[in-house]
Structure 1
Amino acid sequence: MRTEQRLIDTVAWVRIESGRILCARPAGKDVFYIPGGKREGSETDLETLVREIEEELTVALVEASVAHVGTYEAVVPEAVVRMACYTADYAGTIAVSSEIEEIAWFTYADRPHVPPVDQLLFDDLVTDGLLAR
């Protein structure tokens, strides 16, 4: 009998500059992720995105510029990860916070260093000519 898998519902900020995408490695983790995170309570995608990016990267997203670029799902052990991805302009200077140990600008060649759901986004971005190989 098939058991219902837990859903991990996240939002992510897709920031691409010069063919590279911004990725962040949380403190205590070995893997880089697209910046963002899980919603709290009944937060909307926008509320979650704005809060998470401010907490992680110390910048304020310009809410009027937020645009949905895609939603991706990947199966991981014991769960399904759903990631709603958005672009947005920002104010401030991107910097690591207490939650984030390191930031990096990845090309498609760095795809193996991100989780499966992020890899799906990388695939679309390189196909669309937005992410350098």
Structure 2
Amino acid sequence: MSCAEWKREPTAYDVFFGLALPYKPPRNALAAFAWRRRVWLETTFALSMMQPWEKVLVACFVSLLLGSLVTGMYLYLPHHLSYIHGRAMYYLLGYDAGVSSAWKWSASWMTSGNVSSWAGGVINLNDDL
């Protein structure tokens, strides 16, 4: 690395989108904060030791993992919270839900996050016409 490259002041674009991490923080306060976070991230997880294509591969894997986690929470967490609420009411108040509501709860899992439940109703409406 040349002396000029080492002394170069990076821009905010270099910090946010560059594959090579600049050695100095930029003058912009927001970009300097992002530079400090990026230095922490790259040194903690040894990303600074990787080739650029390896960094991209790790970033894709992490974003895919986080995306699937958020999607799963969006689809199934509300249903699970209602189940936990029912169990808490049973333990706190002593109300037994009974067999019929247990069947209703287990049948609701078939439609939780499933698009085909309302699509089947549309198909049945068209069959009647």
The two structures share one fold, judged by TM-score above 0.5 = no
TM-score range, shorter-chain basis? under 0.3
Greater strand content: 1
Greater helix content: 2
Which gives a bigger RCO, structure 1 or 2 (Cα 8 Å, sep 6+)?
1
TM-score normalised by length of structure 2? 0.24
Instruction: Please tell me whether Structure 1 or Structure 2 has the larger radius of gyration of its CA atoms.
Output: 2
